[in-house]
Structure 1
Amino acid sequence: MIRTDPETPDLYLTPVEDVFIRNHLGPHPRFDPDSWSLTVEGLVERPLRLDFRTFQGLPQTRFTAVHECFGNPLRPEVPTRAVTNLEWAGVPLAAVLELAGPRPEARHVWLEGADRGDFAGESGVGYLKDLPLDQAGAEVVLTHTMNGEPLRPDHGYPVRAVAPRMFGTNSVKWLTRIVLAAERPEHLFTTRLYTRVLPGERESRPAREKDVSSKLLTPRDGRHVPVGVCELAGYAWSSTEVAAVEVAVDDADWQPAELDRRGPDPSWQRFRFRYDLAPGPHRIRCRATDSAGRVQPLTGDRNAVHEITVVAG
Structure 2
Amino acid sequence: MADRPGPFSGRCQSLLVLSIAHDGKNGTFDTGARHMIRTDPETPDLFLTPVDEVFVRNHLGPHPRLDRATWSLTVEGLVERPLRLDFPAVQALPQIRLTAVHECFGNPLRPTVPTRAVTNLEWAGVPLAAVLELAGPLPQARHVWLEGADTGDFAGESGLSYLKDLPLDQASSEVVLAHTMNGEPLRPDHGYPLRAVAPRMFGTNSVKWLSRIVLAADRPDHVFTTRLYTRVLPGEYEARPVREKDVSSKLLTPGDGSSVPAGSCELAGYAWSSTEVTSVEIAVDDADWQPATLDRRGPDPAWQRFRLRHDLAPGPHRIRCRATDSAGRVQPLTGDRNAVHEIHLLAEPSAIPGGH
What range is the shorter-chain TM-score in?
over 0.9
Q: What TM-score does the superposition give when structure 2 sets the normalisation length?
A: 0.84
Q: Work out which of the residue numbers 67, 72, 96 in structure 1 matches 2:102.
A: 67
Task: Give 2:23's aligned residue.
Answer: none
SS in 2 for 1:138: helix
Residue aligning to 1:89? 124
**1:106 partnered with 2:132:** no
Candidates 39, 51, 60, aligned match of 2:74: 39
Contact persistence 2:107–2:337 (CA under 8 A):
no
Q: Write the distance in 1 (CA, Å) between the matches of 2:331 and 2:304.
A: 15
Which residue, 181, 185, 193 being the options, matches 1:158? 193
Gaps of 5+ in 1: 1-7
Q: Is the 8 A contact 2:148 2:208 kept in 1?
A: yes
Amino acid in the other structure paired with 1:135: Q
Please name the residue that 1:203 is paired with.
238
Aligned equivalent of 2:288, options 253, 258, 264: 253
- What secondary structure sits across from 1:53 in the alignment? helix
The aligned runs of 1:233-244 (5 Å cut-off) are 233-244=268-279
What is the alpha-carbon distance in structure 1 between the residues aligned to residue 322 and residue 107 of structure 2? 22
Q: Which has the larger radius of gyration?
A: 2
Q: Which residue pairs with 2:228 in the alignment?
A: 193
Per the TM alignment, residue 121 of structure 1 is displaced from its structure 2 partner at its CA by: 1.6
Work out the CA distance in 2 between the residues paired with 1:274 and 1:289: 20
C-alpha separation in 2, matches of 1:304 and 1:182: 37
CA RMSD of aligned residues (A): 1.4
| Structure-1 residue corresponding to 2:250 | 215
Amino acid at match of 1:188: V
Match for 1:253: what amino acid?
D
Cα distance in 2 between the residues matched to 1:297 and 1:77: 11
Look up the equivalent residue of 1:120 and give its one-letter code: A
Name which of 129, 138, 141 aligns with 2:164.
Answer: 129
For normalisation by structure 1, the TM-score amounts to 0.95
Percent of aligned pairs sharing the same letter: 83
Residue 19 and residue 10 in structure 1: after superposition, are their counterparts in 2 closer, same or farther (change >3 A)?
same
Shift of the alpha carbon at 1:275?
0.6
- The equivalent residue for 2:335 is 300
Partner Cα distance (2:250, 2:151) in 1: 33
2:91 aligned residue? 56
Instruction: State whether structure 2 residue 304 is matched by structure 1 residue 269.
Output: yes
- How far, CA to CA, are the matches of 2:156 and 2:283 in structure 1? 43
- The 5-angstrom pairing of residues 3-18 of structure 1 reads 10-18=45-53
Equivalent position amino acid for 2:81 in 1: R
Query: CA distance change for structure 1 residues 72 and 29 in 2, over 3 Å: closer, same or farther?
Result: farther
5+ residue gaps in structure 2?
Answer: 1-42, 349-356
User: Displacement, 1:76?
Assistant: 7.7
The one-letter amino acid paired with 1:115 is D
Q: 2:123 & 2:193 partners in 1: Cα distance? A: 13
